[in-house]
Amino acid sequence: MAILLASCEAFIEKDVAIPGLPEAPTLELTPTADNPNRIIVKDLSQGFFSRVWDAPGGTPSSSTLAVDTILFTKAGTYTITLHAAKEGGGGTSSASQEIFIEEDATVSCTDDITLLAGGCEIGDIKCWTFTKAAGAVTVGPTPGSGEWFTSPQDGLDFEQYNDSFCFTFDGARFIYENQGKTVDPWNGYLPVDYTPPDDYTWLLVPGAGENGEIRIQLPEGAFMGVWDSGPAYDIVTLTEDILVVRSKIVGVDGWFELTFEAN
Please report the sign of the dihedral spanned by the C-alpha atoms of residue 151, residue 155, residue 157, residue 161.
Answer: positive
Instruction: Say if residue 135 is in the same domain as residue 39.
Output: no
Predicted pLDDT at 1? 45
**Looking at residue 5, what is its pLDDT?**
45
**Domain limits for position 42:** 27-101
Least confident of 34-48, 108-122, 227-241: 34-48
Q: Are residues 61 and 37 in the same domain?
A: yes
Residues 134 and 247 in one domain: yes
66 found inside a domain: yes
Could you tell me if 78 and 193 lie in one domain? no
What is the per-residue pLDDT for 34? 79
Instruction: Give the CA angle between residues 219, 230, 173 to the nearest 5°.
Output: 40
Q: Say if residue 159's pLDDT is above 90.
A: yes
Please give the tally of structural domains in the chain.
2
Region for 59 from its dihedrals, namely left if φ exceeds 0, alpha if ψ lies in -120 to 50, beta otherwise: beta
Give residue-wise pLDDT tens across range 103-125: 887 778 899 999 999 999 999 99
CATH at residue 79: 2.60.40.10
**Is residue 2 domain-resident?**
no
DSSP string for residues in 45-90: -SSEEEEEEE-TTSBSSEE--SEEEEE--S-EEEEEEEEEEETT-S
